[in-house]
A = this chain, B = another copy of it.
Amino acid sequence: MARPQSSAPITVALLGGGTVGAEVARRLVSGGSDLSSRVGAPVVLTQIAVQDTARSRPGIDPSILTADAQAVATSGADVVVELIGGIEPARQLILEAMRAGSSVVTANKALLAADGAVLYAEAARCGVDLFFEASVAGAIPLLRPLRESLAGDHVTKVIGIVNGTTNYILTQMDEQGAGYASALAEAQELGYAEADPTADVEGLDAAAKAAILAELAFHSRVTDKDVFCEGIAQVTAADITAARDMGFVIKLLAVAELVRDEQQRATGIIVRVHPAMVPRSHPLASVRGSFNAVYVHADAAGELMFYGRGAGGAPTASAVLGDIVAAARNKVAGVRDVGESTYANLPILDIGQSLTCYYVNLEVDDRPGVLASIAKAFAEHGVSIQVVRQDGNAQATSGASLFVRTHQATDSALRATVESLRQLDTVKHVRGVMRVEGEVGE
Do residues B319 and A301 form an inter-chain contact, with CB atoms below 8 A?
yes
Contact with B along A315-326 (1 / 0, CB 8 A): 101111111111
- Which A residues, 291 to 332, have Cβ-Cβ distances below 8 Å to chain B? 298-309, 312, 314-315, 317-326, 329
Do residues A341 and B38 form an inter-chain contact, with CB atoms below 8 A?
yes
Contact with B along A1-25 (1 / 0, CB 8 A): 1110000000000000000000100
Q: Which chain B residues lie closer than 8 Å to A283 at the CB level?
A: 286, 307
Q: Which chain B residues lie closer than 8 Å to A298 at the CB level?
A: 139, 318
- A333 located at the interface, meaning its Cβ lies under 8 Å from any Cβ of chain B in the complex: yes
Segment touching B, from A151-159, A250-258, A370-378 = A151-159
Do residues A139 and B325 form an inter-chain contact, with CB atoms below 8 A?
no
Q: Which chain B residues lie closer than 8 Å to A303 at the CB level?
A: 307-309
Q: A151-B325, A318-B153 are in contact. Are A121 and B301 (CB under 8 A)?
A: no
Please tell me which one of the listed residues B38, B149, B326 contacts residue A322 in the complex, with CB atoms under 8 A apart. B149
Chain B nearest CB: distance from A129 CB in Å?
A: 13
Contact with B along A66-97 (1 / 0, CB 8 A): 00000000000000000000000000000000
The interface of chain A, by Cβ under 8 A from chain B, is 1-3, 23, 27, 31, 34-35, 37-38, 40, 120-121, 124, 133, 139-141, 144-145, 148-154, 219, 283, 286, 298-309, 312, 314-315, 317-326, 329, 333, 335, 338, 340-344
8 smallest CB-CB distances across A and B, nearest first, come from: A152-B321, A141-B149, A141-B145, A2-B343, A300-B318, A139-B301, A301-B318, A151-B325
